[in-house]
Amino acid sequence: NTRPWSKVYLRGRLVGTTPLGNVRVPAGNLNLTLVDRDGNTHRRTVSVRSGAEARAFFDLTTGQ
């Protein structure tokens, strides 16, 4: 999830718009591109272990 909402891209492919739920992705360190409602691009990394569930929240207004 992100604040504010954003479009989430993985490897150049649109995954969806936040909040996202139950999205299958490969295991590993995933480099995400987030495009917020104002069109600003943010890059974040999420680590996903094989067979595990991962959750992430990014406040794009503060860079966290």
Sheet with 13-17, edge to edge strand ranges: 13-17, 6-10, 28-36, 41-48
Distance CA 24, CA 61 (A): 27
Look at residue 62 in the predicted model and tell me its pLDDT: 83
Residue 12 — φ and ψ, nearest 5°? 80, 0
Q: Which of 48, 60, 3 minimizes the C-alpha distance to 23?
A: 48
Reported as a pLDDT band with limits 50, 70 and 90, residue 64 is low
pTM, entire model: 0.88
For residue 19, cis peptide bond before it (omega within 30 degrees of 0): yes
pLDDT, tens digit, 9 for 90 and up, residues 4-56: 999 999 999 999 999 998 899 999 999 999 999 999 999 999 999 999 999 99
